[in-house]
Amino acid sequence: MKKITTLFLLLIGPVMLIYGQNVITPEKLWELERVSLMDLSPDGELVLFGVAHYDVAENKGQQDLYTIPADGGTARKITAFESFEINGQFRPDGEKIGFLRNGYLWEMNTDGTDKRKVSDFTMGGFKYSPTGNHILYFKEVQFGKTTEDYHPDLPHAEARIIDDLMYRHWDTWYEGKHRNIFFAEYEDGKIKGEGKNIMDEPYDSPMKPFGSMSQIAWSPDGKSIVYTCKKEFGKDYTMTTNSNIYRYDLESGETENLTPDNDGYDREPAFSPNGRYLIWNSQERDGFESDRKRIMMHDFETGERVEISEGWDRNADNPQFSRDGNKIIFTSGVHATFQIFEYDLNRGEKRQITDGIHNYYNFFQHGDFIISAKSTMSMPNEIFRVDMSTGEDRQLSQVNTEMLNQLDLGEVKSEWVETTDGKQMLVWMIYPPGFDPDKKYPTILYCQGGPQSPVSQFFSYRWNFQMMVSDGYIVVAPNRRGLPSFGREWNDQISENWGGQAMDDYLSAIDHAAEKPYVDEDRLGAVGASFGGYSVFWLAGNHEGRFKSFISHCGLFNLESWYATTEEQFFANWDVGGPFWEDPVPESYLKHSPHLYAGNWDTPILVIHGERDYRVPIGEGIQAFHTAQLQDIKSRFLYFPDEGHWVLQPQNSVLWHREFIRWLDETLK
């Protein structure tokens, strides 16, 4: 570790000479702070949010909590521990703010004074009951046996005994522990005991690994808890997306499955203020993790259930009731942006509240306004106040404003490009700072992952377009087939056709860009991660001389070896058509696997992979690198032994960005 740190410090000087002082560099990208919206006070007057910042030299970070008036004003920092304060929320009476620090529950006054630890045990997340007399939380509970349980006399043995699938997930090995929900009595800042486990079974809520506290909700009267869970285990877990919404009654101790008739995901439950209705996100088709997200509503008095989003051809995400209970507020993708919508329950009408080139994420509604986090490709998350009637917004937080104002950023434009099947495709064009249309620029085709993740107005700290263009490249980022926010048909056309129309869409986008006088058609590259990495491998064998450089991060190279080593089989079954040993063999293995075209490779390629990537295991990257080396193609393998599908540690990330740019500079400049 000391050797790596020394090398990092020695490289800082040369890199700063390469980059101008007024553009985003890998180091400056990590200087930008990361804003997360957490809560709005019960009276609607105070916004709670987190700000994370990182010390690259120390290779660590921390997150502090802030408040800001909901009608605008100066932000106040209310925590300053050397740790990540998470899960911040106002107590229902509005007098205290609770948060987790190192897993322990803490409380403080809303001005940050009188901080004190409330729990003497750790938890993963918590929620106050609306009535203020209970608290729910989740923590890990040991159900499965460990190797040491089988062989207690061998405490230093390094081995895992595996009898079933789902023994690892994304970047984590299964150690026999599951997230279970507990509730305990709570009064005046005191928790009575460690609470009661309302699940007591080897399943997870929130669901691993990405599920949050939004998958759990209290009823307004504090008498029941609803939660999301996929109650399957091992191989059965890998084969389905069938999660359900369960309701637990605190008095009787009974649990009811509220969604037994739906076979796909059911998640994100939310009660109406009077407790009569429950809404949630539901996906209809089992195994399709990117199926259209619907809003379902259940009436507890009549038992009636309706789809609020019926007829809606896009995802309806993150549904919440307005505080008066008359409207449902949600977000939805519109042409690679994310906007806020409302559904009026009395009129039965939907209305788009916001519009523009931006993304809105989680939100809180109060009276005639909404507080939400908003980003663009040129601005990381900040907190905004949105007028519900006009959709006009006003920026509240200014966490990164000063630094961004000092940077020269590239211009982002959208174009509609005709595809080979006569459709119109939205393509983002991001230009270098100081762009001169009379010059010619090397140009990068960005291939998105997913394969059903939109190229929207996100500000990524990994695949950051502003950092790419800061070194003098134009970036072409198409919303090819399979990306949501363009209707269900467009979204579904990627399934079982990875190497088909989606790849034609990429070629249409880069061919369109190459016709521009300022794009140097002799200096084109293609980059991407995950399915984007697959796309790069596929294009490497099918690009017909278009590209001079490739970068593939955690890409799928051989669909047969990938199918037999990935962890959630439902995804592979849906997207590539099932196992390769079926009769007949699914077409994906016969036509769409990049390794089938490796004999056509003739272009320099950088392959990047993390050892702890269990969704696309590292063998895929190793196979691709060996394929290039054995054919005497200029190639490089960037290997991260302690990263998974994403590169998350500060110094690893800076190194990743430097090597990314170094490779492009070697091969395109």
Residues belonging to the active site: 530, 613, 645
Q: Is the distance from CB of 433 to CB of 469 less than 8 angstroms?
A: yes
* Residue of 16, 33, 23, 21 lying closest to 461 (CA atoms): 33
Alpha-carbon distances, residue 328 vs 298, 344, 372, 451 (angstroms): 13, 7, 15, 29
Q: φ and ψ at 375, to 5 degrees?
A: -140, 165
Q: For residue 585, which of 566, 565, 559 has the smallest C-alpha distance?
A: 559
Q: Please, is 498 exposed, middle or buried when counting C-beta atoms within 10 Å of its C-beta (0-12, 13-18, 19+)?
A: buried
Is-contact 139 123, C-beta < 8 A? yes
Q: Which of 107, 27, 75 is nearest to 653 (CA)?
A: 27
Q: What are phi and psi of 597, to 5 degrees?
A: -110, 15
Which segments within 419-518 are labelled E, that is strand?
424-430, 441-447, 474-478
**Identity of residue 344:** D
- List strands edge to edge, sheet with 46-55: 34-40, 46-55, 60-69, 76-77
- Alpha carbon distance 211, 191 (integer Å): 25
Distance CA(419)–CA(511), nearest Å, equals 10
Is residue 107 within 8 Å of 116, Cβ to Cβ?
yes
* Cα Rg, the chain, nearest whole Å: 25
Task: Please name the residues in contact with 621: beta carbons below 8 A apart, sequence gap of 6 or more.
Answer: 552, 554, 555, 557, 607, 608, 609, 637, 639
Let me know: does 268 contact 259? Beta carbons within 8 Å: no
| Rounded-to-integer distance, Cα 426 and Cα 423, Å | 10
Number of other CB atoms surrounding residue 632 within 10 Å: 8
In this structure, the number of other CB atoms found within 10 A of the CB of residue 504 comes to: 16
- Nearest Cα to Cα of residue 489 among 445, 352, 497, 329: 497
Respond yes or no on whether the N-terminal peptide bond of residue 273 is cis (omega within 30° of 0): no
The count of other CB atoms within 10 Å of the CB of residue 487 is: 11
Phi/psi region, residue 513 (left: phi>0; alpha: psi -120 to 50; beta: rest), is alpha
| Amino acid, single-letter form, for residue 587 | E
Instruction: State the Cα angle at 342 between 338 and 348, rounded to 5°.
Output: 135
Determine contact, residues 557/618, Cβ cutoff 8 Å. no
CA distance 213 to 197: 16
Residues sharing a CB contact under 8 Å with residue 161, sequence separation 6 or more, in sequence order: 147, 150
Two structure tokens written together for 247: 């309701």
What letter does residue 123 receive in the DSSP assignment? -
Amino acid present at 67: T
Q: If you ran DSSP here, which 8-state letter would residue 150 be given?
A: H
- Specify the 3-state DSSP secondary structure of 468: helix
